[in-house]
Amino acid sequence: MTVYTYKATDKNGKYVEGDISASDYKAAIQQIRKLNYFPVKVSEGKGSSKFSFGMTLSRPSWGSPIPLKDLMTLTQQLATLVDSGLTLDDGLSTLVKLSETEKTRSVLADIRKQVHAGSSFADALAEHPKVFSKLYVNMIRAGEAGGILGEALSRLALFMEKSVELKNSIRSAMVYPAILTLVGGTAVIVLITFVIPQFSKLFEEMGAALPLPTQIMLGLSSLIIDYWPALILGFTGFIAAFNLYLRTNNGRLKWDGMLLKLPLFGPLIQKIEVSRFSLTLATLLKSGVPILQAMEIVRSIIINRVISDSIIVIQQALKKGQGLSGPLQKAGVFPPMAVHMITVGETSGALDKMLTKVSNTYDKEVEQSIKQVISLIEPMMILFMAVVIGFIVVSMLLAIFSANDIAF
């Protein structure tokens, strides 16, 4: 039998240390878990860790966060390592060795250093707020407290996977409209700045009276060519002023309220937010996070301000002892079907499971809504570009026919 020194957390998340006799390393971990402890570090004898990595732990870069896709992969890998029987300390050390980028390696090394020194995993993650969100940290904290860190990591990985899928579906759906806008806009700019000026010289030489559409196009072309720096500056200033307006509470609230009332886009935004709300709340509740704390985290990730502010009202109702479904219905920003499903889940005592079903249901509806919106936007954009380019061409032809006294 070999004596192992261990460091672990109890159900309350507090650190405990001790010695235990076991036949091997895995048997030591199993005995520690039987004591209802979650092993963080297990060493053979005194001071000699089972793994020796001999690495230099540098401070992390505090700049841009790790990409969500990379963070999802790291979380999946750490969940697998912890579930396979490795301690958290050894799992983090393995990920440091496997990291492909210097930033990821630096962040993981700093977290391992803090855990090795006695900090909780959640507290170590909280030192990197640009990398790990409040949602991530609180789920890990709940997992540590409940002794289900591996399960919490798996749920986080699943949550991020669904988030990546939603972003990718929206991004891929916008590719074709973006290409149409770019091509059409380029064609219009080329016509106005290069083609029309050539006709302008021709019309001046003819000296004939020009039709109104032609005068409008020539005036617009001259305006853009002569004053393009001022136009760009004015447009940039407008965008900057609009962004400043959106940063105000009143401005953001009015803008988000208007977005929810837009045809096609309003229902789509609502479905996206309902899916995000349901999935996040379900993930937090399954991990043991108290509902009031979970609602605060959910509110921080909701993008639309109108829906986010409604969650504040729901939080106040929960503090008074009311259920979730009633305040949701009174808020009036959630679809009736979602409210009904949450009511059923709350009544049956399976709120987290029903929230997951709500998320899955609205994920599918979001995909369908995106397809419907794109199917309507594409022909509308093509028609708009055709009208603009057609107007330019016709205005030039009118001038040519007028100059030659040809009836059009």
d(CA 255, CA 246): 7
Tell whether the model's pLDDT for residue 291 goes beyond 90: no
Q: Which residue has the tokens 């205005």?
A: 395
Three-state secondary structure of 7-70: EEECCCCCEEEEEEEECCHHHHHHHHHHCCCEEEEEEEECCEECCCCCCCCCCCCCCCCCCHHH
pLDDT band at 41 (very low <50, low <70, confident <90, very high): low
Whole-number percent of the chain with pLDDT over 90: 12
Tracing tokens 């929810």 back to the chain, one arrives at: 260
Bridge partner residues of 16 (DSSP)? 8
- pTM beyond 0.85: no
Selection from 106-110, 147-151, 373-377 with the highest mean pLDDT: 106-110
Q: What is the DSSP string of 78-121?
A: HHHHHHTT--HHHHHHHHHHH--SHHHHHHHHHHHHHHHTT--H
Instruction: Provide mean pLDDT across the span 334-353.
Output: 89
Contact predicate 294/286, CB 8 Å: no
* Nearest residue to 101 (alpha-carbon basis) of 128, 74, 134, 140: 74
Contacts of residue 396, defined as CB under 8 A and 6 or more positions apart, other chains included, come to: 196, 199, 214, 217
Mean pLDDT calculated for residue range 313-320? 89
What's the whole-number average pLDDT of the chain? 81
Judged by DSSP in three states, 241 sits in helix
pLDDT tens across 137-194, in order? Answer: 887 887 777 677 888 888 888 888 887 887 787 787 778 888 888 888 888 888 888 8
User: pLDDT class for 9, splitting at 50, 70, 90?
Assistant: low
Quickly tell me which residue has 């399976």 as its tokens.
350
- pLDDT band for position 256 (cuts 50, 70, 90): very high
- Given a cut of 60, whether residue 49 has pLDDT beyond it is no
